[in-house]
Amino acid sequence: MKVCIAEKPSVARDIAEVLGAKQRKDGYYEGNGFQVTWTFGHFCTLKEPHDYYEYWKYWRLEDLPMIPPHFGIKLIDNSGVQKQFKVIEQLVGQSEEVINCGDAGQEGELIQRWVLLKAKCAAPVKRLWISSLTEEAIRNGFSQLRESSQYDNLYAAGSARAIGDWLLGMNATRLFTKKFAQGKVVLSIGRVQTPTLAMIVARQKEINAFVSAEYWELKTLYKKVEFTATIDRIVQVERAEKGLVYLKEHPFEITSFERKEGKEGNPRLFDLTALQVEANKKYGYSADDTLKHIQNLYEKKLVTYPRVDTTYLSEDLHPKIEGILKDMTPYANLIAPILQKPIPKLKSVFDDKKVTDHHAIIPTGIYPENLHLDEKRIYDLVARRFIAAFYPECKISNTTVLGKVGQVEFKATGKQILEPGWKEVYANDAPTQKEGEEQEEAEKILPVFEVGESGPHEPRIHKGKTSPPKPYTEATLLRAMETAGKQVEDEEMRELLKDNGIGRPSTRANIIETLFRRKYIEKKKKNIFATQTGMDLIDTIQNELLKSPELTGNWERKLRLIEKGEYAMETFKQELIQMVVDLTQEVKNNTGRSITIAPEAPPVKEEEPKPRAPKKAVELDSLLCPKCKTHPVKKGNTAYGCGNFSVCGFKVPFEVFGKKLSDKQLANLLTKGKTGKIKGLKVDGGDVEGKIVLNETFNIVVEK
């Protein structure tokens, strides 16, 4: 019997259907020579400090650094996980062959390898590697299964990442907490979260230190076109007034008129970060929400694998593009012009050298039905970007006019769209244009001027104020993480810097959410600001290695080299061990100031009586996560989630099925697995009465 292990029950069901394993058993499907079972995310985790030595259970400076003699894994302490693992262990022990059907990425590989390692798998292992969950993709994948050994380097990179995060996170968090924190405060330090926070704090300090200054510019109106003086901004109003007097004494003269035709290249296909950036700019979605929506679309077979960092397609996909476009019937009017001639094999779209394990995110061609509004919006972004890639380039005309008044030179520029090309795809859409751009300025058409012409004009003084640096939004923060803090607009240069980015596309959303959850950053409208707590923490960290986006990006580059087989996992581990040893010695000898973390609740005004802490909130914060049963539940910005969310993944939004849950309902859901009956739950477009329940995979469903 061949045993297939998928990462989720829903994926296992799809695979079982294709393979003909239609008999449902306890924890797996069976039939046609296959048994198809599943995990539900991470089943195993690296052992905790106390699993190695009892005395590591206690946070003491003298025990640091903690360097285990070897790193072991253990099952997550959760009854559902342990029950399903026994099923997997039994099936694997009796199998003739195991097929790893986990998500085709680094995290998916790590999840499956750890499960097989814990189950002491002795059978030969094959790998299913697919980029979408359509029936055709699953059938093709099983017809060309790969050897598991092909992905040993991917597993090594995932292991190195986990070990690196353990070494730095466990040691540095205890180190800084015991050395500098007061009371029961925990100062959380992470390989990715700390340099990300450092970037936000640095921007915050620039904003706080900024002093706005007034300036004056000379402008003039000639033939209804406004020209601006090209001299430096004037910082004294008296000089500006003298300049205005001078301008009134001389006519305006055209010295140069130049009109150049150019092109605006098509927007690149989406990788995950670009999609998160666009969704944040257009709809205000958080990176985490966008990842959730695109993952749902992938599992509904509507888009290809989303956790990718390339904007290119492999060249062997070119013959399939026409078929995908033809199947996208909701966009038939936009697609019709493309299908009038053969699909071009554009180098900006198809490039095998720019594709590793997966290609850019594109639609599969399956008709999108019964989608929630958020999923519709994300699908529409992906669909339009895919269509726009095969439209002609946008042809424009850029006009530059130079003039002078006496000895003062002036300039005006204009832009005209000659042929909209790919912009037609967005003609009836909200003003979102080429990815990475701000909202475009209105088209500005300048009349034709003759060099040497001269005439009267209307000069004036424009008064302005210098502006502080812009705070980060999730969109600009994601871009900064991708390019290790460098401000990069050019897409080619951005591609080159991706290997040195902070974190991976699939983890950046969680890093940002972690910073929110720990109250190191906060959001005001769409802008992200460092809290005083976050600023204090970064100020306390004197070691630049922990805070540097570029150095952390270098670690990421090494992890990618491990993935390619070009760097040894053991070397990376030894480098991190040495860094932790050096850091520990440095901080122990440091006499830096202690910091106090501000309470999570907003401060109470002095004239108001101090309210009693709400009992229910305290109870919720004291509950253990029902999934891993190890870490306490923590309150975030939009949900309660496991304190070890990056591993466990459990969370309950404040609002589900159109209802904001009370503390009592949340407590019942977390402790009993279900709420009492609730009226008016929004299900499939209608209102129903029922209980909100955690199912066997700890997803939230309605029980009528």
Angle at 387 between CA 384 and CA 390, to 5 degrees: 145
Strand 2-6 to strand 97-101: parallel, antiparallel, or no bridges (unpaired)? Answer: parallel
Please provide the DSSP assignment of 10-65 as one string: HHHHHHHHHHT--EEETTEEEETTEEEEE--S--EEEPPHHHH-GGGGS--GGG-S
Buried b (16+ CB within 10 A) or exposed e, 473-496: bbbbbbbbbbbbbbebeebeebbe
Q: Angle 549-563/193-209 helices, nearest 10 degrees? A: 150
Instruction: Identify the DSSP state of 348.
Output: T
- Of all helices (H) and strands (E), which one includes residue 394? strand 394-405
How far is the C-alpha of 502 from the C-alpha of 478, rounded, in Å? 9
- C-alpha distances in angstroms, 316 versus 42, 268, 271, 321, 385? 33, 18, 19, 10, 20
- C-alpha distances in angstroms, 431 versus 14, 428, 437, 444? 38, 9, 11, 16
Structure tokens, 274: 């670009």
- Of all helices (H) and strands (E), which one includes residue 378? helix 373-388
Residue that the structure tokens 């077979």 belong to: 301
Region of residue 240 (left: phi > 0; alpha: psi -120 to 50; beta: else): alpha
Residue type, 325: L
The active-site residue, picked from 155, 222, 305, 640, is: 305
- Of all helices (H) and strands (E), which one includes residue 680? strand 678-683
Structure tokens, 56: 């590591």
Active site residue 246: no
Closest of 464, 554, 660, 550 to residue 202, by C-alpha: 550
Please provide the DSSP assignment of 448-506 as one string: P--TT-EE--EEEEEEEE--PPPPEEHHHHHHHHHTTT-----HHHHHHHGGG-SS-HH
How far is the C-alpha of 33 from the C-alpha of 264, rounded, in Å? 55
Tell me the catalytic residues. Answer: 305
